[in-house]
Structure 1
Amino acid sequence: MVRDKGSSRERMINSAVKLLATRGAAGTTIDGVLADSGAPRGSVYHHFPGGREELITAAARAAGERMSAFLRHDDGLVHPRQALAALAEFYGSLLIAGDYRSGCPIVALTVGGDQIPAAAEIAREVFTGWQEQYRDLLITHGVPPQRAATLATLTVAAVEGAVILARAQRSTAPLDDVVAELTALL
């Protein structure tokens, strides 16, 4: 199959997201992205003139946006429990399919992204964005603003922590437990 040249940038971003989630920031290399994506070497500096750092930051922003999609629906309204269930289903499938070696690429930036100057800021933006989206979703469904902000922080922190525990325990049980408790709370 011949790959569309116009999709090499997207393939490289997808590969970088995957590698961030499995290998962390330090293990996400240009060579690894090229091997995984099948993109030609010359396309790296064509699409990402800033090299590895630019590729990783683009991947982190893309991953953040993809996860934000769980908090949106075509008509703009999704119930907070539906958003949580969709997110949990995604993470559960990711964990199982990746033999518990894959997690959140944004967490990878916070843990091992020291060599990427923009990593901390991107992680902060993405996590804050998720919290704000979830807060707004809760407010839309009648939760008072202060309570919504607290529940949004709890939800993001609990789900991300559950994914880390699931990887460590090689089981979706921590994620299942967190989702069950959050669902009851919401």
Structure 2
Amino acid sequence: MSPRHSDAPQRVVSAAEDMLARVGLNATSIREVSKLADAPLGSTYHHFPGGKQELLAKATRQAGDKVDALLERVLQVGAADGLRQFLAMWRERLLRAQFQAGCPVLAASVEEPVDAVAHEVRDAAAEVFARWEARLGEALERAGHAPAQAATLATLIIASVEGAVAMCRATQSIEPFDRVSAQLLELV
């Protein structure tokens, strides 16, 4: 008889992704993640022997994979329309969460871990941002932008969206996001 497959590791990674988006890197604890995931604390450490850094790096990459898949899908219709859909997704997410959740990848990149010397989580965030920039840059090139201009514009888009999300959380208003979105759409 084969051992029962458990979805606990995936629930734990998803819970960590959620906590990163809501409370940030240092406030996310394995104990709280395990509770949120309804997973035994001991099995969480079993599945993630590298501890919090390993878990949060996986959660960061998972969040990045979701957005990368979304970008791949929406950019098939073109850079401008794809960007419009991407911005609409972020706007909806902010409003639905009532500005209580941001981007887990940004959260992973802006806090220095207080409980570890490793930089696994920040490295994961850097990898994710690079993938998003590359995906956007390719779409912008297909839309007729020169390669250097497309790369610069892709960086500007990611930095602007991430900054606007942070500003919306701080101000508890969608206005910064709407202003940034309008400018980005004009540029593309």
Whether contact under 8 Å (1:70, 1:83) holds in the other structure is: no
SS of the aligned residue for 1:127 comes to helix
Cα RMSD after superposing both structures: 1.9
Distance change (3 Å), C-alpha of 1:79 and 1:28: same
| In 2, Cα distance between equivalents of 1:69 and 1:88 | 15
| In 1, Cα distance between equivalents of 2:77 and 2:71 | 7
| In 1, Cα distance between equivalents of 2:80 and 2:47 | 38
| In 2, Cα distance between equivalents of 1:6 and 1:91 | 32
Q: TM-score, normalised by structure 2?
A: 0.88
Distance change (3 Å), C-alpha of 1:82 and 1:39: farther
| In 2, Cα distance between equivalents of 1:5 and 1:94 | 32
| In 2, Cα distance between equivalents of 1:85 and 1:31 | 38
SS of the aligned residue for 2:98 comes to coil
What displacement does 1:5 show? 5.2
Aligned amino acid, residue 138 of structure 1: L
After superposition, give the CA deviation of every residue in 1:89-139 in whole Å (9 maximum; x if it has no partner).
222222222221211111111222433521222222111221111101111
| In 1, Cα distance between equivalents of 2:77 and 2:56 | 30
Q: Which residue does the alignment assign to 2:84?
A: 85
Aligned amino acid, residue 135 of structure 2: Q
Q: Which residue does the alignment assign to 1:106?
A: 105
| In 2, Cα distance between equivalents of 1:35 and 1:89 | 32
Range 137-146 or range 90-99, more displaced: 90-99
Whether contact under 8 Å (2:54, 2:121) holds in the other structure is: no
Which of 116, 125, 128 is equivalent to 2:127?
A: 125
Whether contact under 8 Å (1:113, 1:119) holds in the other structure is: no
Whether contact under 8 Å (2:16, 2:55) holds in the other structure is: yes
What displacement does 1:143 show? 1.5
Q: Which residue does the alignment assign to 1:14?
A: 14
| In 2, Cα distance between equivalents of 1:176 and 1:154 | 16
Whether contact under 8 Å (1:72, 1:78) holds in the other structure is: no
Q: Which residue does the alignment assign to 2:162?
A: 160
Distance change (3 Å), C-alpha of 1:114 and 1:46: closer
Percent identity reads: 36
Is 1:42 equivalent to 2:42 in the alignment? yes
Number of positions where the alignment pairs a residue of Structure 1 with one of Structure 2: 182
Runs (5+) with no aligned partner, structure 1: none
| In 2, Cα distance between equivalents of 1:77 and 1:97 | 26
Runs (5+) with no aligned partner, structure 2: none
Q: Which residue does the alignment assign to 1:56?
A: 56
Q: TM-score, normalised by structure 1?
A: 0.89
Aligned amino acid, residue 30 of structure 1: I
What displacement does 1:36 show? 1.1
What displacement does 1:150 show? 1.2
SS of the aligned residue for 1:77 comes to helix
Whether contact under 8 Å (2:61, 2:124) holds in the other structure is: yes
| In 2, Cα distance between equivalents of 1:83 and 1:12 | 31
| In 2, Cα distance between equivalents of 1:34 and 1:82 | 39
